[in-house]
Amino acid sequence: MSAYGITADTAENSPEIEKQWAVKAVHHAETYMKLLKALPPRKMKFTPIDDEIYQDFTKSFPAFPVSLIALDLLKTEAAKAKWRDFINRYEKKVQDFNFGTLLRIDSTGDYEEENTTFVTRLQFFAIEIARCRQGANDAVYEGAKEGNNANGR
């Protein structure tokens, strides 16, 4: 139950609320891509407990392909149940752990309609922390760096 007495079961899909969530999600995605293009991914920090999230993620999802995500690993009923258990472990540890967030499906690409899916903030953190630590985001950073060098920056 939320502070406003609204739960996932009782909430209505108000167009205004959906629009506000979409604006926040797009702003988060734009900000993240700017950071990803500006900072070496292996040096990025998402939360004070990145190490814990990463260790838990790699233990809970040992074969999860962070570079190119098959949506059934996020969206099937079995996958949702497994993710729900993972996400709920962080309810008191990560602020906004269940906020809707945009995630790139292919780590080498930008946020575009065909390369984006909607996940919780905790799923975003887990996958992006893994991508940064495993080198899956290096291509975005290197591509931006090369583009800046080619433009004389």
Report the pLDDT averaged over residues 67-95: 96
Domain boundaries, the chain: 15-150
- pLDDT confidence of residue 27: 86
Report the pLDDT averaged over residues 105-130: 96
User: Which contiguous run of DSSP H or E holds residue 54?
Assistant: helix 50-60
Give dist(CA 77, CA 105) in Å, integer.
Answer: 19
Would you state the CATH architecture of domain 15-150? Orthogonal Bundle (1.10)
Q: With 0-12 CB in 10 A as exposed, 13-18 as middle and 19+ as buried, what is 8?
A: exposed
pLDDT at 8 over 80: no
